[in-house]
Structure 1
Amino acid sequence: MGVQWIEIKGKKILYVDYRGVTKTEDSLKILREAIEIERASAGGLLLLQNYEGTHANEEFVAEIKRLGAEVSDKLAKNAVVGLSGIKKIFLSAYVRFSGEKVLRSFNTEAEAHDWLVL
């Protein structure tokens, strides 16, 4: 869990790992750490977020929307892994209706890596 830089095919990716996080305060801590890095970036960020085994609640969703809006212009690509069921449907609907161009959901990290480094 946590935030770290990884390198795939020579490209740096900010990896935000929420896997297994079930407490809201832990999720928010990881989110805020990632946002600080994104704020400090010059832009063109490649972002990979893994939500496998997590539970989101209203507080986390509200905070990710609020903070995410502040840094959305810094992202070149934003890949999400670990969503299933209704969460994946909601994200797909959001992407489709909002016209969001840099956000995609993937079943595996390997698929996300391939898209991020295209």
Structure 2
Amino acid sequence: MDRLQVISHKGKTIIYLDFSKATPMEFYQLIEEGKKVISSLQKGSVYTLVNVTDLMGGKEQQLALKDFAEHNKPFVKVGAVVGVTGWRKAVYSLILRLTGRKNLKLCNTLEEAKDWLATQ
């Protein structure tokens, strides 16, 4: 399965980025591919769904995700994130504060995230 997919759900086109269980190589490749795809689209028009379930990573990957969120900010209308649990919620909150992103929502499942994005 490709880690970056363009999916359609209830009439919305969503960029799905699957970081779940990614190796470091897959993680950084997806960051670069995601930046290219998202920045090729109209500013303020992109719906994103990011899955970080069971993503293992340290400070370097957290900084890469922060940079990714900052890079995408002008392009993303709204985004949903799945797989943020436990102590990762603190990291997620910090990334939101540092990047000024207010248009991201934490969801418990992929279906919940897709349904929420479809209503935006």
TM-score scaled by structure 2? 0.85
Asked whether the equivalents of residues 70 and 99 of structure 2 are also in contact (C-alpha less than 8 Å), the reply is no
The superposition leaves residues 89-118 of structure 1 with CA deviations (integer Å, 9 ceiling, x where unpaired) of 432465479763211111111111121111
Who is 2:31 aligned against?
31
Q: Could you tell me the percent identity over the aligned residues?
A: 26
What CA deviation, in whole Å up to 9, does each residue of 1:57-108 have, x standing for no partner? 2222212222331221100111100111010243246547976321111111
Please tell me whether residue 90 in structure 1 is matched to residue 119 in structure 2: no
Which residue is equivalent to 1:13?
A: 14
User: Would you say how many aligned residue pairs link Structure 1 and Structure 2?
Assistant: 117
Give the partner amino acid of 2:39: R
**Structure 1 or 2: more helix by fraction:** 1
SS of aligned partner of 2:62: helix
TM-score of the pair, normalised by structure 1 = 0.86
- Partner Cα separation in structure 1 for residue 29 and residue 10 of structure 2: 29
1:7-26 Cα distance to aligned partner (Å, 9 max, x none): 000110000011221x2222
Pairs within 5 Å for 1:1-118: 1-21=2-22, 23-43=23-43, 44-92=45-93, 95=96, 100-118=101-119
